[in-house]
Structure 1
Amino acid sequence: MLDTCREVVTPEGVALRLPAAGPMPRALAWLVDFAIRLALVFAIGVVLGLMGRSGTGVYLIGLFVVFWCYPILFECLWDGRTPGKRLLRLQVIAGNGAPVGWLAAIARNLLRVVDMLPFGYTVGLLASFADPWGRRLGDMVAGTLVVHEVQDRDAPTLPAAEAFPAPVTLLPADQAALVAFAERAAHLTPARQVEIAELATPWLGLRGHAAVQRLFAIANGLLGR
């Protein structure tokens, strides 16, 4: 399965492109985490083995913590990343792009038992092939998504538009807001761009897409481009 992008729009109108991770990088991350957990279990067993039979109960508690609490704690306290996911540059987030919460992390990890049926994550793999964003059943129920970490981007650039002088005198704060709008425009939906641009209609004298383009031109003029 190829990695795909899921686009969500925040209440502020910002369009987020979430690069969903396919089964292969997720499987590699799981193997890394599994190896870490095995090492932890071995270390706990060696230490508690020195306690004789009295260490058996503590060992069972340790097994539960390592195999069940390990992913939940890391995903909630380490920004959606277990050590394996961090190594593979993956992250668990909510379906709307927000950080994953405790209930969602618990749900997706408890349902891992179902995804593993009948063996080797067969159910989870089939579900990921059927889902456009590669989610296993646990993610579907919990409303979560595993994505690739977004790489640092270059400094934002303004949309191409011939420089145009502002028809009125703009205060420094207004100039900064106008330039910021132009820089963020690529991450806004067209409808949100128009909505923001039309706030300037009283002094701009334009509406719709024409207002958006004129603000881009004024922003370029303010920056001397």
Structure 2
Amino acid sequence: MSEAPPLDTLRQVETPEGVALVLRAAGAVPRALAWLIDLAVRATVYFSAATVLGLAGETGAGVMLLLLFVLTWGYPILFEVLWHGQTPGKRALGLRVLRGDGAPVGWLASITRNFLRTVDMLPVLYGAGLVSMLADAHSRRLGDLVADTVVVYVDPPRRPSVLPPGEVQRWPVPLGVEEQQALVAFGERSRALSVARQNELCEHLSPVTGLQGDAARERVLAAARWLAGRSAGDA
């Protein structure tokens, strides 16, 4: 997981399936930048259309009012629901709107959080929203609190685990989740360590394996391959 900006906080949620998720809530600055990008996009669309619709008299003026409404209210809602919680501005900044439980944002939640911008804007320049974001542990404005949504960072796709080729063997004793992750992480990073350093680390597990030196290292790597779900000889 890439490093989050220092003012951002972690939000831990558990899905109905029992899967633990760690979400990195985005702070006020990246969200403001995303909003400015979206504002620029909407302004560009509006004024580009206005140059054409302005020639159509009253009909054009009516269409421009409709377009203004759609860009003001429909733009964020449609993008958030249909584009995986991201407007163009949020996508540019690597942000996404999710429900409080980590599920994708739906129509009702998106409509609620966006219509309540009228409250967050008070008294001027999103003053109420900024105060709410600074006071909330997960940087949620009032609209987010009411709709139970949160704006988080989108983590880059994880690269598939790559372990050195070799034997695959089950670990002799049951392991907890963190212990399994530690063994797989060691296997993935082993190529960056000297053989002597690998042996030194693996010998800490000698009370379990009963092995020393190269034998201890190969036993740990074999277990890492098994935990990673790889077959013998995979690179």
TM-score with structure 1 setting the length:
0.71
Q: Which of 146, 153, 156 in structure 1 is aligned with 2:158? A: 153
Q: Distance in 2 between matches of 1:184 and 1:74?
A: 41
| C-alpha distance in structure 1 between counterparts of 2:99 and 2:119, whole Å | 20
Residues matched between the structures, number? 182
CA 1:132–1:52: 2 relative to 1, 3 Å: same
- Out of 110, 114, 126, the residue aligned to residue 115 of structure 2 is 110
Aligned equivalent of 1:202: none
Aligned in 2, Cα 1:132/1:157: closer, same or farther, shift over 3 Å? farther
Taking a change above 3 Å as real, the CA distance of residues 20 and 184 of structure 1, as seen in their structure-2 partners, is farther
Task: Tell me what 2:15 maps to.
Answer: 10
Q: 1:49 to 1:5 in 2, by over 3 A?
A: same
* Partner Cα separation in structure 2 for residue 62 and residue 127 of structure 1: 31
Structure 1 residue 52 displacement after superposition? 1.3
Shift of 1:54: 2.4
Q: 1:128 is matched with which residue?
A: 133
Residue ranges of structure 1 left out of the alignment (5+ in a row)? 168-177, 187-212
- Whole-Å separation in 2 of the counterparts to 1:221 and 1:43: 57
Deviation at 1:79, TM superposition (A): 0.3
Note closer, same or farther for the CA distance 1:219–1:147 as it changes in structure 2 (3 Å cut).
Answer: same
Aligned to 2:89: 84
2:61 to 53, 56, 63: 56
Match of residue 72 from structure 2: 67
Three-state SS of the structure 2 residue aligned to 1:58 is helix
After alignment, is 73-82 or 9-18 more displaced?
9-18
Shift of 1:151: 1.7
- Residues 221 and 78 (structure 1), Cα distance of their counterparts in 2 relative to 1, 3 Å cut: closer
Which residue pairs with 1:95 in the alignment?
Answer: 100
Change (3 A) 1:156 1:221: closer
Report which structure shows greater RCO (CA 8 Å, sep ≥6). Answer: 1
Offset of 1:154 from its aligned partner? 3.5
1:33 to partner: Cα distance: 0.3
Secondary structure, aligned partner of 1:6:
strand
Q: CA RMSD in A?
A: 3.2
1:37 maps to which residue? 42
Q: Give distance in 2, aligned partners of 1:54 and 1:117.
A: 33
Cα offsets for 1:15-52 (capped at 9, x unmatched)? 10000000000000000000111111101211111111
- The TM-score, its normalising length taken from structure 2, stands at 0.68
Paired AA for residue 40 in structure 1: V
What secondary structure is seen at the aligned counterpart in 2 of 1:91?
strand
Q: Which amino acid aligns with 2:110?
A: A
1:14 deviates by 1.6
Q: CA deviation at 1:100?
A: 0.5
> Gaps (5+ residues) in structure 2?
1-5, 182-207, 209-219
Does residue 144 (structure 1) correspond to residue 152 (structure 2)? The answer is no
Q: Kindly state the Cα deviation for residue 77 of structure 1 after the two structures are TM-superposed.
A: 0.6
| Contact persistence 1:157–1:183 (CA under 8 A) | no
